[in-house]
Amino acid sequence: MISLRNITKSYRNGFKRAFVLRRVSLDIEAGEFVNIMGPSGAGKSTLLHIMGLLDEPSDGEYQFRGTPTSSLSEKQRTELHRTQIGFVFQAYHLIDDLTVY
């Protein structure tokens, strides 16, 4: 269902490049329950944002249900995220005095 190949994410840091993810490869089948663990700053949220189609890798290939996500338009990515992915943000910004309704 989820197939990551050599996923890399880096940010420009002055004249250097800071690597947050370096060649991450991972397969997750439908129905599998997976924990991603690591110390603060290890890149867990960055990886989840890529898997949730909220962010794009700098390099590598991500296939979601057989679709190479790099070939999707912004609109198609949004549609896939909206209809197929449930995502709870680390900073979810719920407002205490408002109800869901």
Q: Give the footprint of Mg ion on this chain (CB under 5 A).
A: 44-45, 90
Residues in 61-80 that interact with ligand ATP by CB under 6 A: none
With residue 62 as reference, give the H or E element that holds it.
strand 59-64
Least distance from C-beta 34 to ligand ATP, angstroms?
Answer: 15
Question: What does 30-46 look like in DSSP terms, one character per residue?
Answer: TT--------TTSSHHH
What tokens were used for 84? 């197929």
Tell me how far the alpha carbon of residue 49 is from its chain's centroid.
3
Least distance from C-beta 43 to Mg ion, angstroms?
Answer: 8
Other C-beta atoms lying within 10 Å of the C-beta of residue 15: 5
5 binds ligand ATP per the rule CB under 6 A: no
Q: Which stretch binds ligand ATP (CB under 6 A): 25-33, 34-42, 67-75, 93-101?
A: 34-42
* Residues within the interface to ligand ATP (CB under 6 A): 11, 20, 38, 40-46, 90
